[in-house]
Amino acid sequence: MLTRCLVWAVVGDVMNPLKPAHMVAARLKHFNKVVHHVNPRDRNCLPSLAVAHEKEPIEAVNLIISPKIGLGIVEEMIQLEIKCLFIQPGAGTAAIIEKARAADIEIVESCVLITPDKDFREQPEQPSKM
């Protein structure tokens, strides 16, 4: 997902430089990802995935917001047919994961901030051994 998806929506408190969501967005940008800032509670961000998706089709969502809001975000992903979900620690629940799996959404539960740099880059194909 980290190498394949180029257009991301980071859903959380992305505008606050003291918050992990801000750092997640910056790390994705560092690896040349297009990042849309989505936060339904912040007028300085896009209010929904739908608005971000209109600007440019989103390939992946990074969920780093209260699970109460996260469930609605997954429902919006289903409507928009976004098939990749990266769930940061504390943002996921069984209900979020069940709903995403039922919609055949690819799920990664991890932390972008500690993901090794190599995981963001395409890996060269290994020559086959004969």
- Residue-wise pLDDT for 9-23, tens only, equals 999 999 999 999 999
CA distance 49 to 36: 9
Q: What is the pLDDT of residue 64?
A: 96
What is the DSSP track for 6-63?
A: -EEEEEESTT-TTSHHHHHHHHHHHTT-EEEEE-TT-TTSBS-HHHHHHHS---EEEE
pLDDT per position as a tens digit, 96-125: 999 999 999 999 999 888 887 787 776 545
- Fold for domain 7-117? Rossmann fold (3.40.50)
**Contact by Cβ (8 Å): 80, 50:** yes
Which of 5, 4, 6, 31 lies closest to 115 in space, CA to CA?
A: 31
Question: What tokens appear for 109 in the block?
Answer: 């539960």
Q: What is the pLDDT of residue 119?
A: 78
Name the one residue in this structure whose structure tokens are 């936060």: 39
Q: What is the pLDDT of residue 128?
A: 52
pTM above 0.75, yes or no: yes
Domain coordinates in residue numbering, the chain: 7-117
Neighbouring-strand partners of residue 109: 87
Average pLDDT, the chain: 91
CA distance 62 to 48: 13
Q: What percent of the chain has pLDDT over 70?
A: 93
Asked whether the predicted pLDDT for residue 81 surpasses 90, the reply is yes
